[in-house]
Amino acid sequence: MEAATTEATRVAPAPPPKVTERAREERKLAWMLCAPAVITMLLVTGFPIAYAVYLSLQKYDLRFPDQKEFVGLSNYVDALGSSTWWGDVWNTSLITIVSVSLELALGMAIALVMHRAIFGRGPVRAAILIPYGIVTVVAAFAWRYAFDPASGFVQGLPLISDTAAPLTERGGSLIVIILTEVWKTTPFIALLLLAGLALVPDELHEAAKVDGANAMQRFFRITLPLMRPAILVALLFRTLDAFRLFDTVFIQTQGANGTETVSILSYNVLINRVNLGLGSAVSVLIFICVLLIAFFFVKVLGTSTAQQRGEV
Amino acid sequence: MRVGRVVVFGALLAATALAGCGSGGGGGGTPTLNWYVFKEPGGAYDQAVANCNKQAGGRYKIVYQALPTDANQQRELLVRRLAAKDSSVDLVGADVIWTAEFAQAGWIKPWTGANRAAAVKDRLVGPLKTVQYRGGVWAAPFTSNTQLLWYRKDLVPNPGENATWDQIIDTAIKKGKSIEVQGNQYEGLTVWINALVEGAGTPMVSQTGKVTASDKAIEDAARIVRRLATTKAAPAGLGTNKEDEARLGFESGRSVYQLNYTFIYPSAAEVTTPKDFQKRIGWARYPRTVADKPSRPPLGGINVAVGNYTKHEDVAFRAALCLSQPKNQAIASEKGGLPPTSEAVYNDAKVKKAFPFADELRRSIEEAGPRPVTPAYSDISLAIQKTFHPESEVQPSDVVSKLQDRLDKAAEGKIF
């Protein structure tokens, strides 16, 4: 098809392009079939994004509607010049990096277990997936109450002080938030990695075994390199998710004790202070951060869905 | 066949849409008034609605639209509707701290003439201040609330009218017990800080959002907060406790004092160990910040306002007056434990029975130090919370500059 078009272009203008009536009709039909999806996507994602960008260029506080005016990039200057924004970016990055690393290590271990499980494969997989099936808000409450000195059981465990109140100070709060995140989303990573493991042919392992490679060598030299696309996709998804972390922090600390994330900041400005202009600017900045992360993964680390399918 | 189904579906849609209009009650029939107010678990608001619907005799019908119990969430839901000019918001059960914001944004209607006179008639001074903004009246005071100093009669002496924070902290340390307060980073912390600053003699912020409290008053408040948080008088989890955690802590016996609302009293009757727990509880006025000035207890409560976009303005005002009338205030006291705003209701026998501490309650409400009345209240509250949390890290030496910096940024609409 492509070759035909190129040839047609080269010999043009003399003979008409060799696109048959049927092919043209099919292409038209394809566009018509796609159209509802494209239009819906434009309406539900394109429009809100464009509107947020438009709002972010305004001075617009819902409580003072008369003072609405166009202020250009001044909201962005405010946000980027504020130590709160950079502090929150740091908090968010810290939580993201630590939790995603832990999730990757644990997820890999769990994926290997699920892959190798000989008996009870179904129950093992189901049990591992339970945390992922629990609503995030519920999970966040469960962990908060577990660590609360009045209602929690954690203080009763050995080696932990009876009056420990981790959610009242920064280190403790960060640990509880990260634990909740890891507990909740490790199954997700494990699932994606399990799919990647299935791509590694058994013959390679057997051949390596014959050549005298031990289990460690087989894992690092064969399994990991072949799983690279799956790992990168899992990391990409989780990093993007973790960077937008909101619910766990909102339930457990509301951003107190220096645990405020960029999403909590956006909520405070946009929903609590109803400052639509500044809040939208913060939201757009978060969007740009997410784009940068995605760009880094796709361009620098070379993640792609084609790789995931094993086509490259 | 398929066409038939589409037609039926379309007809259903149209019918629903029409029904939607009908409930708005454009012309003829009984207009429906939606009252958005928090979900009162005791059934007091349900009964107030039922009373008024009966009293209205078909002139209007109030429908109780329950909001969450958390004040922040109530506000978020209402603000979203009002900012979109939702005409279904006829009556608003407004927290005392929303008046200025809602009035300034044009979300609620001002009260004038006979309605205004009826709304403010015989109300206590404290609650009255919470419906006033820029010389206008914006709601009818309905229920009120304040905190008392609850103490264990069996463990510590009556602290009396003039106790200071320092004295009760000393006593608690001596007994090896703690003092329950609301220290989480949320509105309850603002309530505490505001009472401390007001108790030092100056209101915290003006209507335009400028700091009016003296440096000394803010530093005094910071000193007390820090002292409570860093001594043995601090309960476990001070920085995460809200009203209910404080109540539970007090009921567990770890504390000899508690600063909290009146709901803890009926709850104390349910405590099983010791069985006579409620009888061991005494009450006194909110403690003083400085020895030579009377304390200014916190002030909460719900006022009934009329939404600016309602299609039934006349009856909405009448319904608001009906809901907030003394009879319904008495029901709210009895069933919901919510103190009245009308002076006379405090002498009602049922109210006296519900509140054995009615006299103390009334005096505290009358002499309360309301939180700032300013349209940017939520910004200011957030700035206060961020400055005074975590409590153990508050430094009297730099608290004024930190608070000032955040309030300036709030006033300029910047990030803090």
Of all residues in chain B, what percent carry a pLDDT higher than 90?
Answer: 76
Parallel/antiparallel/unpaired status of strands B32-38 and B91-95: parallel
Say if residue B59's pLDDT is above 50.
yes
What mean pLDDT, rounded, does chain B reach? Answer: 90
Q: Encoding tokens for residue A81?
A: 């010049």
Q: What is the pLDDT of residues A19-43, one digit of tens each?
A: 788 999 999 999 999 999 999 999 9
Q: How far apart are CA B137 and CA B142, in angstroms?
A: 14
- pLDDT average, residue stretch A124-132: 88
Position A12 pLDDT exceeds 60: no
| Residue recorded with tokens 């201040």 | B129
Q: Which of B415, B404, B382 is nearest to A80 (CA)?
A: B415
User: Which pLDDT does position B28 carry in this prediction?
Assistant: 61
Taking residues B380-400, what's their average pLDDT?
93
With residue B149 as reference, give the H or E element that holds it: strand B148-152
Q: Which of these ranges, B56-60, B69-73, B276-280, B342-346, has the smallest mean pLDDT?
A: B69-73
Q: How far apart are CA A111 and CA A219, in angstroms?
A: 13
Write the residue in B76, B105, B379 that is nearest to A65 by C-beta. B105
Highest mean pLDDT among A216-225, B50-59, B269-278: B50-59
pLDDT at position A285 over 50: yes
Element containing residue B175 per DSSP (H, E):
helix B165-175
Show the tokens assigned to A38: 């494209």
Q: What angle do CA B273, B279, B284 make, to 5 degrees?
A: 120
- Report the 3 state secondary structure along B254-305: CEEEEEECCCHHHHHCCCCCCCCHHHHEEEECCCECCCCCCCCCCCEEEEEE
Backbone torsions φ then ψ of B388, nearest 5 degrees: -100, 15
How does residue A309 score in pLDDT terms, banded at 50, 70 and 90?
low
Nearest neighbour of A149 by CB, restricted to B237, B413, B414 = B237
Closest CA to B149 of B134, B161, B137: B161
Q: In angstroms, what separates the C-alpha of B350 from chain A's closest C-alpha?
A: 35
Mean pLDDT in residue range A268-295 = 94
Burial class (CB in 10 A: 0-12, 13-18, 19+), B148: buried
pLDDT given at position A29: 93
Res A135 pLDDT > 70: yes
Residue in the block written with tokens 């179904």: A122
Give the phi and the psi of residue B176 in degrees, each rounded to 5.
70, 25
Start-to-end CA span in chain A (Å)? 22
**Minimal Cβ distance to A167: which of B79, B240, B376:** B240
Distance CA B231, CA B242 (A): 20
Inter-chain contact A150–B245, Cβ cutoff 8 Å? Answer: yes
pLDDT band, very low/low/confident/very high, at B339 (cuts 50, 70, 90): very high
- Range B121-132 average pLDDT: 93
Alpha-carbon gap: B376 to the closest alpha carbon of chain A (Å): 8
Total beta-carbon pairs less than 8 A apart between chain A and chain B: 88
Q: What is the mean pLDDT of chain A?
A: 88
For A307, counting Cβ atoms within 10 Å of its Cβ (0-12 exposed, 13-18 middle, 19+ buried), the class is middle
- Reduce the secondary structure of chain A to three states and give it as a string: CHHHHHHHHHHCCCCCCCCCHHHHHHHHHHHHHHHHHHHHHHHHHHHHHHHHHHHHCEECECCCHHHCEECCCHHHHHHHCCHHHHHHHHHHHHHHHHHHHHHHHHHHHHHHHHHHCCCCHHHHHHHHHHHHHCCHHHHHHHHHHHHCCCCCCHHHCCCCCCCCCHHHCHHHHHHHHHHHHHHHHHHHHHHHHHHHHCCCCHHHHHHHHHCCCCHHHHHHHHHHHHHHHHHHHHHHHHHHHHHCCCHHHHHHCCCCCCCCCHHHHHHHHHHHCCEHHHHHHHHHHHHHHHHHHHHHHHHHCCCCHHHHCCCC
Residue contact A268–B245, C-beta within 8 A: no
Contacts of A169 in chain B (CB under 8 A): 239, 390
Q: What residues does B112 pair with on adjacent strands?
A: none
Q: Indicate the residue type of B390.
A: P
Rounded CA separation B207/B376 (Å): 9
Average pLDDT over residues B298-318: 96
DSSP letter (8 states) at residue B205: B
Whether the CB-CB separation of B387 and B204 falls below 8 Å is answered with: no
**A18 or B137, which is more confident?**
B137
DSSP 8-state class, residue B124: -
In this predicted structure, what is the pLDDT of residue B305?
97
pLDDT at B96: 96
A170-197 and A224-243 helices, crossing angle to 10°: 140
User: What does the radius of gyration of chain A's CA atoms come to, in whole angstroms?
Assistant: 26
Residue A82 with chain B: CB contacts under 8 Å: 409, 414-416
Given this model, what pLDDT does residue A303 score?
A: 60
Contacts of A168 in chain B (CB under 8 A): 237-240, 390
Query: Could you tell me the residue ranges of all domains in chain A?
Result: 74-300
Nearest CA distance, A91 vs chain B (angstrom) = 15
**Is domain A74-300 annotated with CATH 1.10.3720.10?**
yes
Q: How far apart are CA A224 and CA B289, in angstroms?
A: 65
pLDDT at B29: 82
CB pair distance less than 8 Å for B237 and A282: no
Say whether pLDDT at A80 is over 90.
yes
Cβ density class B309-344: b for 16+ within 10 Å, e for less = bbebeebbbbbbbbbbbbebbbbbbbbbbbbbbbee
What is chain B's alpha carbon radius of gyration, rounded to the nearest angstrom?
A: 23
Asked if B104 contacts B133 with a C-beta cutoff of 8 angstroms, the reply is yes
Report the chain A residue with the minimal C-alpha distance to residue B254: A150
**Average pLDDT for B324-338:** 93
Average pLDDT over residues B291-317: 96
Instruction: State how far residue B396 is from chain A, nearest Cα, in angstroms.
Output: 18
Q: Taking 50 as the threshold, does the pLDDT of residue B3 lie above it?
A: no
Whether B237 and A62 lie within 8 Å, measured CB to CB: no
For range B124-143, the mean pLDDT: 94
Considering only residues B195 and A213, tell me which one the structure prediction assigns the higher pLDDT. B195
pLDDT tens track for A160-176: 887 788 888 899 999 99
Average pLDDT over residues B190-215: 89
Task: Select from B104, B185, B236 the Cβ nearest to the Cβ of A165.
Answer: B236
Task: Name which of A150, A257, A275 is nearest B390 (Cβ-Cβ).
Answer: A257
Q: Looking at A98-102, A301-305, A307-311, B118-122, which range is the least confident one? A: A307-311
pLDDT confidence bin for B401, thresholds 50/70/90: very high
Are B79 and A62 an interchain contact pair (Cβ–Cβ within 8 Å)?
yes
DSSP B160: -
Contact list, A163 vs chain B (CB under 8 Å):
236
Nearest CA in chain A to B248: A150
Give CA–CA dist A134/A214, Å, rounded: 39
Supply the pLDDT for residue B377: 92
pLDDT at B285 over 90: yes
Residues of B in contact with A275 (CB under 8 A): 413
User: Is the pLDDT at B26 greater than 70, yes or no?
Assistant: no
CA distance B350 to B330: 7
Judged by CB atoms closer than 8 Å, whether chains meet at A63 and B105 is answered as yes
Q: What's the whole-number mean pLDDT along residues A36-53?
A: 94
Q: How far are the Cα atoms of A1, A19, A102, A233, B282 from residue A9, in angstroms, in the given order?
A: 13, 12, 54, 38, 95
Q: Do A168 and B104 touch (CB under 8 A)?
A: no
**What percent of chain B clears pLDDT 70, i.e. is strictly above it?**
93
Q: Is the confidence at residue B405, as pLDDT, over 60?
A: yes
Q: Which of A82, A150, A268 lies at the smallest CB-CB distance from B414?
A: A82
Helix (H, G, I), strand (E, B) or coil at B166: helix
A195-246 per-position pLDDT tens digit:
999 888 888 888 998 998 888 888 888 888 889 889 999 999 999 999 999 9
Q: Which of B104, B248, B390 sits opposite A150 (nearest CB)?
A: B248
pLDDT at A307: 52
- Residue A15 has a pLDDT of 59
Contacts of A268 in chain B (CB under 8 A): 382
Is the CB of A165 less than 8 angstroms away from the CB of B237?
yes
Q: Which residue has the tokens 């009045």?
A: A150
Cα B208 to Cα B61, B125, B134, B139, B407, distances in angstroms? 38, 22, 11, 20, 11
**Tokens 């939404």 found at:** B307
Which helix (H) or strand (E) is B91 found in, with range?
strand B91-95
pLDDT score for A188: 92
Question: Taking residues B267-277, what's their average pLDDT?
Answer: 89
Structure confidence at residue A27 (pLDDT): 92
The answer to whether B185 contacts A82, with C-beta atoms less than 8 Å apart, is no
Sheet with B281-284, side-by-side order of all strands: B178-180, B255-260, B148-152, B281-284
For residue A258, give the chain B residue with the closest CA.
B390
Q: Do B416 and A82 touch (CB under 8 A)?
A: yes
CB contact under 8 A, B245 and A273: no
CB contact under 8 A, B382 and A269: no
Query: Using the beta-carbon criterion (under 8 Å), do A268 and B249 form an inter-chain contact?
Result: no
For B307, phi then psi, to 5°, come to -65, 140
Judged by CB atoms closer than 8 Å, whether chains meet at A169 and B379 is answered as no
Q: Cβ separation of B79 and A78 shorter than 8 Å?
A: no
